[in-house]
Amino acid sequence: MPDSANGSSRHRSGFPGRAVVLFASVAAAVTLVASLFIPRVYESQAAVSFSVSTQQVSSQQVTLQLLSGLPSPGALAQAFTQRLETRAFSAVLEEPRPARFFEARYDEKKGLFTLKARGSTPAGAKQRADKLLAVAESYLQERLVTAARTSVASSLEQARLDLTTGEQILRDTREMLKSVPARGGKASPAVAAGLEALKIDPAIARSPNPAITYLSLQEAQLATQVATARARTQAMEGVLKDPASLSRLVGQALQLQVLAPPAEPVRPSSPKPALWALIAGFAAFVVGSIVTVLRQEAAGNLS
């Protein structure tokens, strides 16, 4: 009787183990078969490296100053990624829910911008990836042009103010020159020494008429500054009046290189029948084991 009871106990404890294995196998098989009927999703992606630099645009100081306030690549990529997750690009990408089919990620350490698109066929995924890449290039260009235009407009206002101020000071200096009496002869040594003690240029202090010499030098310097401010003002006004020229400058500043263009994927990214079946089988095995242990403990407590 004891041997029969032990055998019966081993039989009862072994049966739940086989049941767990069978349950896990059935779950894996059902998941595998079900995944075969799920529509395939293919993913195509592009790797883009881009930077913003004005070093190769022009050596002219005016041009470099115009493009000095452009946003950083990281800020541009982050802004594009955030807008992609909204409906702002629905009309451009021709999708009511862009985040469902498109994805963008920027790696700041590597300076790499990854663009991904999903489709029901390899060709469809590539087509969407090509569209996303074109939209990204256009967006980056437009954002830089807008930022450059804002920077130019702000600099233009400052240049106009500098020009107006410089012209006024130049007029005042010339009026002062007209009012200073001209006299010849040599400068008094005492006057020259006093002026040099006040840190006045010795060439001015020892001139026959220090006031006229000083004002004349000031007039020449102010005239140069006014001419420079006028040239800067005219240059910036010309840029604002010619949007195509500004776009060309920004296009040269935007260094964008497609390292890996979109291509048709060989395998679908989803579903993954083997992986899903393995996960389902493992999860069923764990759940079945826990249920078996709980039932055995409950049966032991009742006996």
What pLDDT, in 10s, does the model give residues 24-42?
A: 788 778 877 777 777 788 9
Residue 252: which of 67, 85, 98 has the closest Cα? 67
Domain of residue 248 covers 30-278
The closest of 222, 224, 205 to 214, measured between CA atoms, is 205
Q: Is residue 11 part of a domain?
A: no
Mean pLDDT for 194-204 is 61
CATH code, domain carrying 235: 3.30.1890.10
Of the pLDDT bands very low, low, confident and very high (cuts 50, 70, 90), residue 263 is very high
pLDDT at 165: 93
pLDDT tens string 230-259? 988 888 888 788 888 778 777 777 778 889
Q: How many CB atoms lie within 10 A of CB 80?
A: 19
Place 183 in a pLDDT band, splitting at 50, 70 and 90.
low
The total of structural domains in the chain comes to: 1
Would residue 25 count as lying in a domain?
Answer: no
Question: Domain for residue 260, yes or no?
Answer: yes
The token pair that represents 26 in the structure block: 């059935």
Q: Kindly state the average pLDDT of the residues 76-94.
A: 82
Q: Is residue 204 part of a domain?
A: yes
- Say if 92 falls within a structural domain: yes
Residue 108 lies in a domain: yes
User: Is position 137 within any domain?
Assistant: yes
Single-letter amino acid code for the residue at 157: E
The pLDDT assigned to 15 comes to 46
Is 135 among the domain residues? yes
